[in-house]
Amino acid sequence: MAHNEAVDVVLVGAGIMSATLAVLLKELDPAIKLEVVELMDSGAAESSNPWNNAGTGHAGLCELNYTPQAADGTVDIKKAVHINTQFEVSKQFWTYLTKKVTFGSSKTFISPVPHLSFVQGDAGVSFLKERFKVMSKHHAFADMEYTEDKATMAEWMPLMMPGRPADEVVAATRVINGTDVNFGALTNQLLKHLTSAPDAQVKYCKRVTGLKRNNGGWTVSIKDVNSGNTREVDAKFVFLGAGGAALPLLQASGIEESKGFGGFPISGQWLRCDNPEVVKHHQAKVYSQAAVGSPPMSVPHLDTRVVDGKKSLLFGPYAGFTTKFLKHGSFMDLPLSVRAGNIGPMLAVAKNNMDLTKYLVSEVMQSMEQRLDSLRRFYPQAKAEDWRLEVAGQRVQIIKKDPKKGGVLQFGTELVAAKDGSLAALLGASPGASVTVSIMLELIEKCFPNKTSGEWAAKLAEIFPAREKVLETDAALYRKINVQNNIALELVEASSETESYA
Ligand SMILES: Cc1cc2nc3c(=O)[nH]c(=O)nc-3n(C[C@H](O)[C@H](O)[C@H](O)COP(=O)(O)OP(=O)(O)OC[C@H]3O[C@@H](n4cnc5c(N)ncnc54)[C@H](O)[C@@H]3O)c2cc1C
């Protein structure tokens, strides 16, 4: 066994998270030596692949679960505002990169697609109306439109209105400036740009199999999946960007902060339509409400997807249960992740979430006809022959110790970092790829605090003229940054009005 190459940073996994962090670090310190290690033979082969996620550029424009309604009818928009400004931070990074010849065009990964919310029934309509009233007062959602008029809805969603009962109570909101993002294309563009610089490598068909502390850093064991040979690499910093498989690697690190975490894998499926005669009548991402008692990732949506220049429609997701942590993982992933430190929280979650278990079982048992029935609540005249079932990516939800309940299931993401800042892992799945840049900035601030307040500060300010907090409150600055990003990413055409901001 060969021993021991040395780099500054090892990043495990070639998905959107590692690709973003690697490029950010290289921008901040061009002399940094880093290696991305990926077990598949290409980048974005798991959740970041365009057909494994919905490609929604989450900006809080249409996702009704980001704006909960309290018992007194008030709607809380804090989460939607935060995700919106996080997405503007992602767009700032992509805007910065489009000025580099080695990065390429934004047209390959981001496309303008309006974001709509659609509700049925009196309760849904009164919620959407209240939500619109509050949201449209905030500068991030000032362009939102609301309608209860069916003719207007037929213009906004031509596939979705024909075939509905005349007396059906429905309403919708629309924001024209939504996006569809091909996170796979973006990941691969980032990796290509990364490796155009010296001392930055991406190694495919290599599995990280172990992590050991060494003096001031980590020794990472890397196995070639074809030859079976193992090499060891010393790194000062390790990022576990292994998607669903980050949990077992975090456990292998043995860091104190990893104790008590468990994972609950949820699989997904979509209905996909490539028939151009159907696809051309829907140019939107339309999100509705999840059934009462079902988890947030089950919110149904009918989406325009733009992948490799071709448009398709996706409907779903339909959730399911599996014990795999990755789509290409092993059924032993879940049982092997059980430890003395997390068995308590895992059993507590199993006991307290029987509704979720029942929901997942019912989703798994659905026939194609039942799946089409769900689609027809969106698109009443959908024909079975235009749709096929596809398997989506895995989401491994976080199970965490809880002093009162023993353990809780968490649907967001969690950055777990060693106290000395030498290792970090990203657990969880939502809202995911859209807010990668904010999550990786948080990681950099947590693990490299001296550098972010010191030698990296000026570069960070150059790449990110405005961060989340200020964008949430400064309407004029928000509008300026938003317009600049939209022009640079070719999401809008520059007009004289927009140019004055750019
Ligand atoms: C059904 C579904 C719908 C979604 N919809 C959206 C959406 O609309 N918008 C949005 O913003 N986000 C969405 N997401 C979330 C988004 O896809 C993820 O947050 C994001 O892709 C995660 O990126 P990642 O880099 O962490 O993981 P991944 O893309 O999964 O990459 C992890 C990589 O690590 C590799 N790996 C694992 N173990 C090892 C090892 N031991 N050694 C070497 N390599 C390893 C894997 O092969 C993989 O390539 C969705 C996710 C799912 C599942």
Q: What is the pLDDT of residues 73-91, one digit of tens each?
A: 999 999 999 999 999 999 9
Give the ligand 1 atom nearest the CA of 242: 34
Interval 399-409 mean pLDDT: 86
Interval 417-429 mean pLDDT: 93
**How far is the CA of 247 from the CAs of 137, 209, 327, 463, 491, in angstroms?**
41, 13, 15, 31, 37
Q: Whose CA is nearest to atom 25 of ligand 1?
A: 15
Report the amino acid identity of residue 235.
Answer: A
**Cα distance between residue 200 and residue 19, in whole Å:** 11
Percentage of residues in the chain with pLDDT exceeding 70?
96
**Cα distance between residue 480 and residue 492, in whole Å:** 14
Q: Which residues pair with 223 in a beta bridge?
A: 207, 230
Q: Whose CA is nearest to atom 45 of ligand 1?
A: 13
Q: Which two tokens stand for residue 125?
A: 């309509």
Residue 273 lies in a domain: yes
Nearest C-alpha neighbor of 193 from the set 98, 108, 111, 306: 98
Distance 184 CA to ligand 1 centre (A): 10
Burial (Cβ within 10 Å: 0-12, 13-18, ≥19) of residue 183: buried
Residue 303 lies in a domain: yes
Confirm or reject: Cβ of 39 under 6 Å from ligand 1.
Answer: yes
Position 247 confidence tier, pLDDT thresholds 50, 70, 90: very high
Q: Which two tokens stand for residue 384?
A: 């079975």
Percentage of residues in the chain with pLDDT exceeding 90?
76
Residue 369 lies in a domain: yes
Nearest C-alpha neighbor of 333 from the set 396, 427, 393, 240: 396
Report the amino acid identity of residue 256.
Answer: E
Confirm or reject: Cβ of 119 under 6 Å from ligand 1.
Answer: no
Which residue among 17, 18, 47 has the greatest number of ligand 1 atoms within 8 angstroms of its CB, and so is best to mutate? 47
Q: Which residues pair with 318 in a beta bridge?
A: 269
Position 410 confidence tier, pLDDT thresholds 50, 70, 90: confident
Interval 252-256 mean pLDDT: 94
pLDDT per position as a tens digit, 430-463 = 778 999 999 999 999 999 999 999 999 999 999 9
pLDDT per position as a tens digit, 265-311 = 888 899 999 999 999 999 999 999 987 666 666 789 999 999 999 99
Interval 383-388 mean pLDDT: 97
Please name the residues in contact with 56: beta carbons below 8 A apart, sequence gap of 6 or more.
62, 63, 115, 178, 179, 180, 181, 285, 301, 303, 434
Chain Cα centroid distance, residue 146: 27
Question: How many domains does the chain fold into?
Answer: 1
**How far is the CA of 347 from the CAs of 20, 262, 323, in angstroms?**
35, 10, 15
Q: Whose CA is nearest to atom 38 of ligand 1?
A: 242
Distance 31 CA to ligand 1 centre (A): 28
Residue 255 has phi, psi (to 5 degrees) of -65, 150
Segments in 315-414 forming alpha helices (H): 333-336, 343-352, 354-364, 368-378
Confirm or reject: Cβ of 48 under 6 Å from ligand 1.
Answer: yes
Nearest C-alpha neighbor of 11 from the set 47, 35, 30, 44: 35
Distance 366 CA to ligand 1 centre (A): 26
Q: What domain range is 332 assigned to?
A: 264-284+291-410
Residue 196 lies in a domain: no
pLDDT value at position 407? 86
Residue pair 241/18 in contact by the 8 Å Cβ criterion: yes
Which residue among 40, 46, 89, 299 has the greatest number of ligand 1 atoms within 8 angstroms of its CB, and so is best to mutate? 46
Nearest C-alpha neighbor of 182 from the set 49, 317, 90: 49
Please, what is the Cα angle at 122 between 120 and 125, to 5 degrees? Answer: 65
Confirm or reject: Cβ of 434 under 6 Å from ligand 1.
Answer: yes
Residue identified by tokens 């990074």 is: 93
**Length in residues, the chain:** 502
Burial (Cβ within 10 Å: 0-12, 13-18, ≥19) of residue 53: buried
Q: Which residues pair with 218 in a beta bridge?
A: 213, 235
Interval 36-56 mean pLDDT: 96
Confirm or reject: Cβ of 13 under 6 Å from ligand 1.
Answer: yes
Distance 150 CA to ligand 1 centre (A): 38
Gap between the terminal Cα atoms of the chain? 55
Confirm or reject: Cβ of 393 under 6 Å from ligand 1.
Answer: yes
Residue pair 268/316 in contact by the 8 Å Cβ criterion: yes
Nearest C-alpha neighbor of 394 from the set 41, 46, 37: 46
Distance 435 CA to ligand 1 centre (A): 13
Residue 240 has phi, psi (to 5 degrees) of -95, 85
pLDDT value at position 233? 97
Residue pair 337/345 in contact by the 8 Å Cβ criterion: no
**Cα distance between residue 456 and residue 438, in whole Å:** 16
**Cα distance between residue 375 and residue 359, in whole Å:** 18
Give the ligand 1 atom nearest the CA of 392: 1
Confirm or reject: Cβ of 90 under 6 Å from ligand 1.
Answer: no
Q: Is the pTM of this model over 0.75?
A: yes
Residue 499 lies in a domain: no
Distance 183 CA to ligand 1 centre (A): 10
Residue 306 lies in a domain: yes
Chain Cα centroid distance, residue 74: 28
Report the amino acid identity of residue 293.
Answer: G
Position 499 confidence tier, pLDDT thresholds 50, 70, 90: low
Confirm or reject: Cβ of 278 under 6 Å from ligand 1.
Answer: no
> Between β-strands 217-224 and 206-214, what pairing exists: parallel, antiparallel or unpaired?
antiparallel
Residue 161 lies in a domain: no
Distance 46 CA to ligand 1 centre (A): 5
Interval 111-136 mean pLDDT: 97
Confirm or reject: Cβ of 55 under 6 Å from ligand 1.
Answer: yes
Residue pair 271/261 in contact by the 8 Å Cβ criterion: no
Confirm or reject: Cβ of 202 under 6 Å from ligand 1.
Answer: no
Residue 148 lies in a domain: no
Whether the pLDDT of residue 502 is over 60: the answer is no
